[in-house]
């Protein structure tokens, strides 16, 4: 695709649409509209503009490795990922609340997922089971995609450290995952009874399903003696207005049901994490 030609085609199509929509009978008025639409200085179109993205800065040395016990083999983080890992790692100290706002394709997921997997591996090796991280997504498609990515980490034939430690994950959304998804992701629990029984280390869901999980008696086992350490809200910019208020109250109820809430800290020791590519726009 040539950007300049594509821009010309879009401009021509819109101009034709507007001229057809406002099919003016008066010739002088029609010419004035066409002139306005096509005027390079005062018309409705601007550009096209070229947006240049500079590369994300990589780490300068291997100091980032001191934050983690586990990371994907051969993975070298960007600077912003290293800074997130320093805050979110539980290797030397409790995780700190973190907001990740970087552009699309910058590795926001790895910014929180790698320290979470590292934490889950360490907890499993210490013999502690239960839900340790909740990943909340505004859409089922995003939750399913994240589950697939985690499944690839857990099922990596070249790196079995997570699987050998017994790290698990579950996908709990309104839609029933397809048979194709189940076959492609054997390390992701999708059966609801299995999720209740096994209490996976990482629970991938949306705020509506989490609301149900906190209410139903049959799901209460998920939250008993909860080792919950992280709550991640991806696409954080979508939680505004009434929905933002609903989710804020939901998180308060999560702290209450798990018994982790403290005075002035609705989630207690649980570390909140938020990510967005457009929060600052």
- Condensed to tens digits (0 to 9), the pLDDT of residues 13-33 reads 887 887 777 777 888 888 888
- The contacts of residue 91 (CB under 8 Å, 6+ apart) are 67, 68, 69, 118, 122
- pLDDT score of 136: 96
Whether 267 and 254 have beta carbons less than 8 Å apart is answered as yes
Low-confidence ranges of the chain (pLDDT < 50): none
- pLDDT score of 7: 79
Q: Which of 50, 72, 268 is nearest to 159 (CA)?
A: 72
How big is the chain, counted in residues?
281
- pLDDT score of 21: 78
Q: Which CATH architecture has domain 63-276?
A: 3-Layer(aba) Sandwich (3.40)
- pLDDT score of 280: 59
- pLDDT score of 208: 93
CA 101-105-109 angle, to 5 degrees, is 65
What are the extents of the domains in the chain? 1-52, 63-276
Q: Which two tokens stand for residue 40?
A: 């390079």
- pLDDT score of 222: 94
- pLDDT score of 281: 52
Q: Which two tokens stand for residue 32?
A: 């004035």
């Amino acid at each position: 695709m040539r950007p300049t030609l594509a821009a010309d085609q879009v401009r021509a199509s819109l101009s034709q649409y507007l001229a057809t929509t406002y099919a003016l009978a008066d010739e002088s008025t029609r010419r004035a509209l066409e002139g306005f639409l096509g005027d390079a200085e005062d018309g409705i179109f601007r550009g096209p503009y070229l947006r240049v993205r500079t590369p994300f800065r990589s780490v300068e040395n291997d100091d980032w490795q001191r934050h983690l016990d586990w990371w994907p083999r051969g993975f070298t983080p960007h600077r912003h990922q290293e800074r997130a890992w320093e805050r979110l790692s539980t290797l030397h100290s409790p995780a700190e609340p973190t907001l990740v706002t970087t552009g699309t394709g910058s590795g926001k997921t790895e910014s929180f997922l790698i320290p979470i997997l590292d934490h889950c591996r360490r907890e499993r090796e210490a013999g502690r089971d239960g839900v340790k991280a909740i990943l909340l997504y505004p859409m089922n498609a995003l939750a399913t995609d994240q589950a697939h990515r985690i499944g690839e980490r857990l099922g990596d034939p070249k790196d079995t450290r997570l699987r050998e430690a017994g790290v698990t994950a579950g996908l709990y959304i309104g839609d029933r995952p397809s048979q194709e998804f189940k076959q492609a992701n054997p390390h992701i629990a999708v059966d609801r009874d299995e999720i209740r029984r096994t209490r996976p280390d990482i629970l991938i869901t949306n705020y509506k399903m989490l609301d149900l999980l906190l209410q139903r008696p049959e799901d209460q086992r998920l939250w008993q003696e909860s080792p919950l350490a992280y709550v991640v809200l991806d696409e954080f910019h979508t939680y505004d207005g009434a929905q933002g208020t609903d989710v804020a109250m939901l998180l308060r109820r999560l702290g209450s049901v798990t018994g982790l809430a403290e005075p002035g800290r609705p989630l207690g020791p649980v570390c909140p994490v938020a990510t967005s590519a457009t929060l600052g726009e």
